[in-house]
Homo-oligomer: A and B are copies of this chain.
Amino acid sequence: MPLVRIDLARGKPPAFRKQVGEIIYHAMRETINVPENDKFQIITEHAADEINVASSYLGNSYTQEILLIQITLNTGRTVEMKQALFKRIADDLHDELEVRREDVVINLVEVAKENWSFGGGVAQYAT
């Protein structure tokens, strides 16, 4: 159910981009109870000038390597679960891909459970 959009600058190999997605998927599995195979991710590369961010915000500095991650998911996760998710994504991207933790920016958009169709024209979570 989470639909994940990952936006980053051009220049990373496909294996890097794929691994970013996998890390986010596994972090969601382990911190916010996302079911197995519930993986719907859209990765978009951009020219450097198409990612327009300040050099720093709230004490975090950003580089050209910034990852902008927007996750649409069902409502119902607690603040603690969201915090665990953020930490896990940043930690694992850092540990496995050497991404700077400060370059990991995440936003969640919450929707109702009947707002999904995973194929076949059916709202699988509506019942």
| A interface residue numbers (CB < 8 A to B) | 3, 7, 14, 17-18, 21-22, 25, 35, 37-47, 49-58, 60, 62, 68, 70, 72, 79, 82-83, 86-91, 101-112, 114-124, 126
Contact A42 B68 (CB under 8 A): yes
Central interface residue in A14, A50, A87, A102, by most chain B CB within 10 Å: A50
Q: How far is the CA of A54 from the CA of B60 in the complex (A)?
A: 33
Contact B82 A3 (CB under 8 A): no
Contact B72 A107 (CB under 8 A): yes
Q: List residues of chain B with CB within 8 A of the CB of A40.
A: 53, 68, 105
Q: A120 touches which one: B21, B102, B110 (CB < 8 A)?
A: B102
Q: List residues of chain B with CB within 8 A of the CB of A7.
A: 42
Q: With contacts A43-B50, A104-B120 known, what are 6 further pairs, Cβ within 8 A?
A: A18-B49, A37-B55, A40-B53, A83-B126, A101-B120, A104-B117
